[in-house]
Structure 1
Amino acid sequence: MSLSPVDLRARAEAASGHLPGLILSAERLASMVAPGAHGLRRAGPGEDFWQYRPASEGDTARSIDWRRSARSDVQFVRDREAQTAQAAGIWLSRDAGMDFTGGPDRPTKAERGRLLALALGMLMLRGGEKVALLGQPPRAGRLQAERLAEGLVTRADDTDPAAALRPQMRVVVISDFLSDPAWVQTLLARAAGLGSMGVLLQILDPDEATFPYAGAVEFRAPGGGPRHDSRDAEGLRNAYLQRLADRRDWLSAQARQAGWQFGGHVTNAPASEVLGWLWQALGQGAR
């Protein structure tokens, strides 16, 4: 269903009221996972001083710090810290099914996805990376975290992740992956051609992960789709769980073949656990 400009503006204004809470929660979560996150620590082109080291063969006279060398019998070179900002793109599915929650005591999949996306973006920004929602220009700096937050709660479109890929970009794709997964193959094939690496993260509600239903249950597709009345929901459990396991295995195999990683998260589990996994999967934790 397409919305008028007035409807879109009203939705954006309502969503923006959640921005302060989202930013604060993401900051707290990021601090729990990697309180000392920093940039890449090695010698290379950059502006910040890193260390002195004894001069070696190949160092030019221009590279020697003569003031420091005058205090000893050894010539020293002033190394600078490498600053190699990389571009990262985060994509969060906007499918109607992402708004599902099986109970008022836990967030929707979309809410948990927004929190994880923003917290991960903050961690990468702290490390000097350039980050954006996929399809937007990656930037560095504190202000970019606010742009990420605003985009996560107000954007009404669902950018095609494959079309938004850029060469050598690191990508995080967050979805429940419960709809037709053909787009995943398209995404990974294009990523391979562009040299882009990344992570697929599947977020599920506990009810979707365990199928706790029994007796007479009416199942309704998200967004006003078809309905299914079952008088014996428990009898559907084994078949459903097998299909879910098959989908996970398929996603894991597709990611592995492309050199990506696949992980899963259930919304009643601590967000810090999966954020820590994402941080490590992207190679940030080792820096």
Structure 2
Amino acid sequence: MSDPAALRACAEGIAEALPPLLADAEHLAQAVLLGEHGRRRAGMGDEFWQYRPAHAGDEARMIDWRRSGRSDAHFVREKEWQAAQSVLIWVDDSASMGFAGDKTHPSKAERARVLAMAVAVLLNRGGERVGLLGSGLPPRRGALQLLRMADILSAAQGEADYGAPEARGMAPHSRAVFLSDFLGDLAPVERTLTEAADRGVTGAMLQILDPAEEAFPYDGRTIFESMGGSLRHETLKAGELKVRYLERLAERKARLAELARVTGWYYSTHHSGEGAQGALLWLYRALERVR
């Protein structure tokens, strides 16, 4: 196509066909300069990784004689592990995630969805299979899979006040990502992580909170109501609740951190009022560490 105007019109038409969520995720993934994806472990593959000293038990055919000839020791040429792995992502779609304390930043749900898609984009580029836990979308590779994920996440809207992941659908020795505010009952979360650990599944939990949920900037007469409307509390002295609230929030974070520690997962928090790049980088690096 030689006509620049026609070429631009064609490109804009293709871009408009992408779900907005996927377009945002692609933009976020581009902003995080991670370089070439590497699995950084030895195994089956075509790409050279490193030389290592030969160990007792290594077969003679494993020795790289050309490299070994340049020293007094024997070396084995290792290739980089390139087998695709499965990563399942759970995005809390409960009513609680729809909260935004300020119109200038996204809701927790919006931030969770774009982070989930951005992680999926990066993993897909690295050759990994990605799926959505609880949606019936099993892990697959390719651009079509990303489109399916974007469609599901864009339409997701649960009715429950708070959500919790399920271990059902997790393949043994796969990886997972949980994105939630984790403000509901933690017992189901604990059961799921325990079951996941029993299956050899490792992963990362990112607790997404609104800045108002961290700072509790309320005073005087205040009505607190859950996003689903099932819980409601009115007080004339909201400021007096701040200390107890912050203590309980700190206890919840500590419990999540300990739960992650004992099951071999990683845990962190992210505020929806902050930029998403730092959270994406943390998620990606956490998945690299739990291989």
Place the TM-score, normalised by the shorter chain, in its bin: 0.7 to 0.9
Q: 1:227 to 1:27 in 2, by over 3 A?
A: same
Tell me the equivalent position of 2:211: 206
State the TM-score, normalizing by the size of structure 2: 0.78
1:164 lines up with 2:175 in the alignment? no
Whole-angstrom distance in 1 between the partners of 2:200 and 2:222: 46
Whole-angstrom distance in 2 between the partners of 1:104 and 1:165: 36
Tell me the equivalent position of 1:137: 138
Tell me the equivalent position of 1:105: 104
Whole-angstrom distance in 2 between the partners of 1:253 and 1:79: 36
**Does structure 2 retain, via aligned residues, the 8 Å contact 1:37–1:126?**
no
Q: Alignment partner of 1:202: what SS?
A: strand
The RMSD of aligned alpha carbons is 3.0
For structure 2, the 5+ residue unaligned runs are: 1-15, 63-76
Whole-angstrom distance in 1 between the partners of 2:264 and 2:231: 37
Tell me the equivalent position of 1:280: 285
Q: Alignment partner of 1:84: what SS?
A: coil
State the TM-score, normalizing by the size of structure 1: 0.79
Q: 1:190 to 1:267 in 2, by over 3 A?
A: same
Tell me the equivalent position of 2:185: 180
Tell me the equivalent position of 1:65: none
Give the C-alpha shift of residue 164 in structure 1.
2.6
Tell me the equivalent position of 1:37: 36
Whole-angstrom distance in 1 between the partners of 2:171 and 2:182: 22
Whole-angstrom distance in 1 between the partners of 2:112 and 2:233: 28
Give the C-alpha shift of residue 177 in structure 1.
0.7
Q: Alignment partner of 2:230: what SS?
A: coil
Code of the aligned partner of 2:140: R
Tell me the equivalent position of 1:7: none
Give the C-alpha shift of residue 190 in structure 1.
0.3
Q: Alignment partner of 2:36: what SS?
A: coil
Whole-angstrom distance in 1 between the partners of 2:17 and 2:243: 39
Q: Alignment partner of 2:282: what SS?
A: helix
Code of the aligned partner of 1:242: E
Q: 1:203 to 1:50 in 2, by over 3 A?
A: same
Give the C-alpha shift of residue 81 in structure 1.
5.7
Tell me the equivalent position of 2:242: 237
Tell me the equivalent position of 1:6: none
Whole-angstrom distance in 1 between the partners of 2:199 and 2:36: 28
Q: 1:202 to 1:271 in 2, by over 3 A?
A: same
Tell me the equivalent position of 2:23: 24
Tell me the equivalent position of 2:95: 96
Q: Alignment partner of 1:164: what SS?
A: coil
Give the C-alpha shift of residue 79 in structure 1.
8.7
Tell me the equivalent position of 1:258: 263
Calculate percent identity across the aligned residue pairs.
44
**Does structure 1 retain, via aligned residues, the 8 Å contact 2:39–2:288?**
no
Q: 1:118 to 1:222 in 2, by over 3 A?
A: same
Q: 1:183 to 1:42 in 2, by over 3 A?
A: closer
Code of the aligned partner of 2:143: R
1:189 lines up with 2:194 in the alignment? yes
1:87 lines up with 2:86 in the alignment? yes
Code of the aligned partner of 2:149: L
Whole-angstrom distance in 2 between the partners of 1:120 and 1:40: 15
Q: 1:127 to 1:206 in 2, by over 3 A?
A: same
Tell me the equivalent position of 2:11: none
